[in-house]
Amino acid sequence: MSQPGNRWIVQLILALAVLAFVGVSVLPIIGALNNSTSPPNPNNASTPSAPVASNQKTKWEDEVRGYESVLQKEPENQTALKGLLQARLQLLAIKQGNVQSVIEPLEKLAKLNPDQTEYGVLLAQAKQQIGDNEGAAQAYRAILDTKPGDLKALQGMVVLLIDQKRPEAAVGLLQDTLTKAAQANTIQPGSVDTVAVEVLLGNVHASQKRFPQAIAAFDQAIKKDAKDFRPVLAKALLLKQQGQTAAAKPLFDTALALAPAQYKDEINKAASASPTPAPAASPAPTPEGSPTPAPAAPTPTPEATPKQ
């Protein structure tokens, strides 16, 4: 897998240290969708000036019209579809247009490129952002029906289910994926990253304050591959958030030793950062040594990550 993809995965893992207790949120693959739903920050020095933004807006609107003209004659012209999608995403990034505008080209691109699941995942995320949860679920299922181990689709579906207050459905989906993993990997080796799915399952349990189950899932992932730093890092972060810094330290050390060089600085930062304050005690029992809940959205795992 490409280095940018690997970096994204590790950032999702490390996000646990920052986003604990914040709740569930959607993390779009393309940042323009997320940017379009948040208010601009007047204190951000990188915010374009009005004349620059106006020039950009005119440029991308011209591009949109040009691609739309091509698509009227050639509705399945993928170059035009991709150009239209990109131009509309650029408009969203400067707070112009709306998320609905990217759905049609995404639907066509997802249909024309079933093997490129990024289109389907982004389509699902866009539909979720406009409130079409059923449409989002259908887009995720379309991917998982043919690629049950697609971790971006799995993560997205889990986020959607948790957001709908259906944690048991999320757990069931992941457990079913693990049950069928051996057969899927026999047919297509490496198609289901079982360690990643276990880590995702652990985070779902943690988000529901089922701390023993979360730890058990992380431990199971560690047993499956003792050289994979992801479950070790995820467990360390959760223990640290729970205030178990002494127990977390050797896990951080192990994760640091196992991780490829490009992730070591980020792991060091996570290990040395101030622990997230623990929330008030919940009605559910919290056994000693168990981790704090983690949000469903930034669960670590999405694609097969590198190992040393």
Domains in the chain: ranges and CATH? 3-37+63-272 (1.25.40.10)
Cβ partners under 8 Å of residue 281, min gap 6: none
List the chain pLDDT tens, one digit each, 308 residues.
Answer: 344 444 544 555 554 433 332 333 334 444 444 444 443 343 444 445 556 667 888 999 999 999 999 999 999 999 999 999 999 988 888 888 888 999 999 999 999 999 999 899 999 999 998 999 999 999 999 999 999 999 889 989 999 999 899 999 999 999 999 999 999 999 999 999 999 999 999 989 988 889 899 999 999 999 999 999 999 999 998 999 888 999 999 999 999 999 989 889 989 988 988 765 544 333 333 333 333 333 333 333 334 444 44
pLDDT for residue 7: 53
pLDDT for residue 300: 37
Q: Is the pTM of this model over 0.75?
A: no
pLDDT for residue 41: 43
pLDDT for residue 49: 52
Cβ partners under 8 Å of residue 303, min gap 6: 1, 5, 6, 9, 151, 152, 193, 196
